Amino acid sequence: MSKKRRLLWAILLLGLLLLIAERAATLRYQPMASSNDVIIYSTEWCPYCRALRIQFDALAIPYEERDIEKSLDAMAGFLWLGGRGVPLSVIGGQIIHGYRPAPISDALIAAGHPPLSAN
């Protein structure tokens, strides 16, 4: 097999692997509108992340926390979702960047959870 042909096969294989990786990320991280899951991409030191955790705990809202400094998978999801800062919340099918109580409450209601308290 010639060098050109091997190079073309390598490029084709690399393209296929990149396509598979992109599709896998879509399946893994893309929020589903029909879901009522609550996921917070956060860090341990972030005061807004802490405030959000406290509010969710007080309202008994089940959530999954993904610390972007402790997990490569969490960082990958955060970046794939367009994360620019923490917290990044995925509530049902909605992505909320930052600590924004009104949009978070709206998303919680749409996902069948109680809204954040007005404190």
The answer on 39 and 91 residing in a single domain is yes
In three-state secondary structure terms, 7 is: helix
Whether 23 and 9 map to the same domain: the answer is: yes
Residues 88 and 112 in one domain: yes
Overall number of domains in the chain: 2
Does an H or E element contain 110, and which?
helix 101-110
CATH number of the domain enclosing 39? 3.40.30.10
DSSP category for residue 119? -
Give the pLDDT score at 11: 87
C-alpha to C-alpha distance for 109 and 119, rounded to whole angstroms = 17
- pLDDT, one tens digit per residue, over 11-27 is 888 877 777 666 665 55
Strands 88-91, 64-67: parallel, antiparallel or unpaired by DSSP? unpaired
- Domain region containing 26: 1-30
* 35 and 22 share one domain: no
pTM metric for this prediction:
0.77
**Cβ neighbours of residue 105 under 8 Å, at least 6 residues apart?**
115, 116
The model's pLDDT over 63-110, given as tens digits with 9 standing for 90+, comes to 999 999 999 989 989 998 999 999 999 999 999 999 999 999 999 999
Average pLDDT over residues 45-60: 97
